[in-house]
Amino acid sequence: MSHGFWLAPLGWGVFSLGVVAAIILFAVKKRFYPVMYLVSIATYIFTIGFVIDRFDLGKNSILLALAFSSLAFILAGVYFTKKFSQKKTTLMRDIPDKQGRARLGR
């Protein structure tokens, strides 16, 4: 554990600041997705710091872990984007407009 003396306070600090910033952002913007972006970034930094500290990884292993986790999250994002975009278009088509008619062709 060569990084333990500074990594734990840094991880908790980033996580705490991210959560506080997310709460303030939600109070100002009244939207939930920026909050989730901030919380996920802070959690990601905290998790990578824990893995580095716990397993005592070297430089190349750290870069490999970051690359693998980035690739995993990119693939998950592409998968969920495709999965939910079809449901979104179906849902938007079935919502009635102001005159009570269902939207067609949009």
pLDDT band per the 50, 70, 90 thresholds, residue 104? low
The per-residue pLDDT for 64 is: 87
Tell whether 42 and 68 lie within a shared domain: no
Domain final residue pick, 35, 56, 77: 56
CA angle 38, 41, 44 (to 5 degrees): 145
Tell whether 48 and 75 lie within a shared domain: no
Domain range for 88 is 63-106
Tell whether 43 and 68 lie within a shared domain: no
| SS3 label, residue 64 | helix
The per-residue pLDDT for 1 is: 47
Tell whether 68 and 91 lie within a shared domain: yes
DSSP class of residue 7 equals H
The per-residue pLDDT for 103 is: 55
Q: Which residue has the tokens 């998968």?
A: 79
Tell whether 75 and 95 lie within a shared domain: yes
Tell whether 81 and 97 lie within a shared domain: yes
Written as one letter, the residue type at 54 is R
- Say which residue, 8 or 66, is predicted with more confidence: 66
Tell whether 42 and 21 lie within a shared domain: yes
Q: What is the pTM of this model?
A: 0.51
- Beta pairing partners, 102: 96
Average model confidence (pLDDT) across the chain: 77
Instruction: Determine the Cα–Cα distance for residues 3 and 66; give it in Å rounded to an integer.
Output: 17
Tell whether 22 and 70 lie within a shared domain: no
Domains identified in the chain, total number: 2
Using the predicted structure, report yes or no on whether residue 73 has a pLDDT greater than 50: yes
pLDDT in tens, 15-65: 788 778 888 888 888 878 777 777 777 778 777 777 777 787 787 888 888
